[in-house]
Amino acid sequence: MSQSSDPRGELRPIRLGMVGGGQGAFIGAVHRIAARLDGQYELVAGALSSDAARALASGAELGIGAARCYSDYRDMARAEAARPDGIEAVAIVTPNHLHHPVACAFIDAGIHVICDKPLTTTLADALDLRQRAAARGVRFALTHNYSAYPLIRAARAMVAAGQLGSVRIVQVEYAQDWLAADLEATGHVNGHKQAAWRTDPALAGPAGCLGDIGTHAAQLAEYVSGLSPAEISADCTTFVPGRRVDDHVQVQLRYAQGARGLLWASQVACGEENHLRLRVYGTQAAIHWDQDLPNELTWHPAGEPARRLTRGMASLPDVAAAATRTPPGHPEGYLEAFGNLYRDFAEDLRDARAGRLTPARVPGLDDGVRSLAFVEAVLASSRANAAWTTLSVPA
């Protein structure tokens, strides 16, 4: 591909590999669409499955040459690092328990990483990854995709600019129903690919609903409010008989400067599809956002009528405009938000190509460490009958 006006090749798409995400996977397909959306990546290698035949077939469907269809991620890291045209970044879309070993393999090979959340299954592993990445100088993106919605970025900017005054109340909830049925008792859990691994502590880690969606809720609340809870009181529940992880989580939040909050995440809330909702109330105004209406942000200035801010509107903060592809009234959604992370991380990677040391544009290892600190605090509090537990995040 000729790039006459781009002699340094900076505009050249990023060469991307993927671990996990073979036929039938959910999140792997999402990552691939996100990577394609803006033409900033080229998927050229994969360890899409640990089954060699399936890895090959999955790769063929995606136009990956057979030579770069690996069945072992360690081989892939080694081989790609050795190629002159080897991948520059890898997307890790495996079940949670593999995030750490896979990320280690690629970090150690000097390859940048895009990793699905939660970062790891333990805080210790998260800290280990952070240390390794720093040592090796690789860039790391953690796909807290909800924080990449244009209006979420607008909300964060508005809070940061003081438009809410001092934050008093944070209400965040993430409700689903796809694990509400008695899957374990009926044995159906084994035939349900997503449910099978997400309810298995060996694959998902000790946190079920908490790790899967509670971490998204916590990250979103923190991303927008700019506040981290100082202490939490958590009550984790397992409603479905035979389930080995939590499927419902309630957390009271207390913030250092006095704000209060509630976090609710559930995978057994009948009728809720993927309902993520955030409300932040300050002394001067409040904002509401709901993933069912992702192109709107409701802005409630004290004593004035509520305003409906819409994606693409000229008066929004610049960060929102930068994260939008279509004019107001042309709805964008989940994939576009996910694509924003990929597009922004491509900028990070181009900086890395050029040796520029720039601050990360997307959530990364610090967010992952914070998430795992949150997970461990919630589990500890819940085991202690919801005792207040200090949330301390290793610096």
Subset of residues 292 to 311 that bind its own copies, contact rule: CB under 8 A: 292-295, 298-310
Its sign, for the CA torsion 81, 86, 89, 90, is: negative
- Dist CA 32 CA 220 (whole Å): 23
Subset of residues 183 to 202 that bind its own copies, contact rule: CB under 8 A: none
Other Cβ atoms closer than 10 A to 196: 16
Query: Residue 130 in contact with residue 64, Cβ under 8 Å?
Result: no
Q: Which stretch binds its own copies (CB under 8 A): 129-137, 169-177, 354-362, 368-376?
A: 169-177
Toward its own copies, which CB reaches closer, 142 or 280? 280
Regarding 169 and contact with its own copies (CB under 8 A), the answer is yes
Subset of residues 214 to 233 that bind its own copies, contact rule: CB under 8 A: 233
Subset of residues 317 to 336 that bind its own copies, contact rule: CB under 8 A: 325-336
Query: Residue 345 in contact with residue 114, Cβ under 8 Å?
Result: yes
Q: Which stretch binds its own copies (CB under 8 A): 86-94, 136-144, 201-209, 381-389?
A: 381-389
Give SS3 for 173. strand
Shortest approach of its own copies to residue 254 CB, angstroms?
Answer: 7
Regarding 385 and contact with its own copies (CB under 8 A), the answer is yes
Toward its own copies, which CB reaches closer, 78 or 168? 168
Query: Residue 32 in contact with residue 42, Cβ under 8 Å?
Result: no
Based on the number of CB atoms within 10 Å of its own CB, is 328 exposed (0-12), middle (13-18) or buried (19 or more)?
Answer: middle
Name which position in 5, 161, 257, 357 contacts its own copies (CB under 8 A): 5
Phi, psi dihedrals of residue 185, rounded to the nearest 5°: -65, -35
Toward its own copies, which CB reaches closer, 266 or 371? 266
In DSSP notation, 206-244 reads: S-SHIIIIIHHHHHHHHHHH---EEEEEEEEE--STT-S
Shortest approach of its own copies to residue 374 CB, angstroms?
Answer: 18
Residue 327: is the preceding peptide bond cis (ω within 30°)? no
Regarding 291 and contact with its own copies (CB under 8 A), the answer is yes
Toward its own copies, which CB reaches closer, 43 or 90? 43
Regarding 37 and contact with its own copies (CB under 8 A), the answer is yes
